[in-house]
Amino acid sequence: MQREKQKAKSEKWDTRYTAQRGFTLIELMATIAMATIVILGIGVVLVDSYRGWNRMYDRVFSDVVTDSYVARKAFDAVVRKASVKQPGDVSAAESVELYYYQNTDPNLSPNLDRSARFTIAGNELQVVYGSGKLVAGTWQVTSASSPMTLARNVTYGSFFITGACVRMVLKLDNGSETMTVTCSPVRHN
């Protein structure tokens, strides 16, 4: 009986000290090392993603992209309304003058009363809007706006007229980005 008591006491002692649950120092260090690798990997992905986002944002909202969009939209809008090309038509030039109707009502007789002259001046694309009338093939200006700059950083610009199609080719370069814009709208009037 004494032996059984001692054996029970011994088993009780073994369970009390050997049945404890926990992590060893090696297991803890291995877990910390794996967590560090995972966190560093996620950090690298986030930093790279942030840099990529900033590069793309700078490209999309740079002055070259904005200027090219504005120039293309303004040129397209005028040419689609234009009726008569400039007298003394040329195949390639640094400027083009287009005439169009302000009034688009089909019940009224159409009289050319507006003009737009697109010009490459230095490193800028400029437009001058005017009003007047066409008399014997010559445009007589009654009033004109001051030149409006549509695009800056223009390194090359040319206009081509082929039939009813008026094409504009621009190359914009601000030192860090380069963009070529080609717009070929057709005169509809």
pLDDT tens for 18-39 read 556 788 889 999 999 999 999 9
Rounded Cα distance, 129 and 78, in Å: 10
Q: What is the pLDDT of residue 88?
A: 46
What's the predicted TM-score (pTM) here? 0.64
What's CA 48's distance to the chain center, in Å?
21
Count the neighbouring beta carbons within 10 Å of the beta carbon of residue 62: 16
Q: What is the pLDDT of residue 100?
A: 77
User: What are the domain boundaries of the chain?
Assistant: 22-61, 63-183
Per-residue b/e over 150-182, b at no fewer than 16 CB within 10 Å? bbbbbeebbbebeeeebbbebbbeeeeeebebe
Q: What is the pLDDT of residue 8?
A: 62
Angle ∠(183,126,66) on CA atoms, nearest 5: 60
- How distant, in Å, are the alpha carbons of 79, 84, 85, 99 from that of 138? 19, 11, 11, 11
Which of 143, 17, 173, 159 lies closest to 78 in space, CA to CA?
159
Torsion of CA 88, 92, 95, 99, to 10 degrees: 50
Block means of pLDDT (10 residues each) for the chain, 189 residues, are 67 57 87 95 93 84 83 87 59 77 60 81 88 74 83 88 85 86 82
Q: What is the pLDDT of residue 15?
A: 54
The label of the residue with tokens 């690798």 reads 37
Q: What is the pLDDT of residue 137?
A: 67
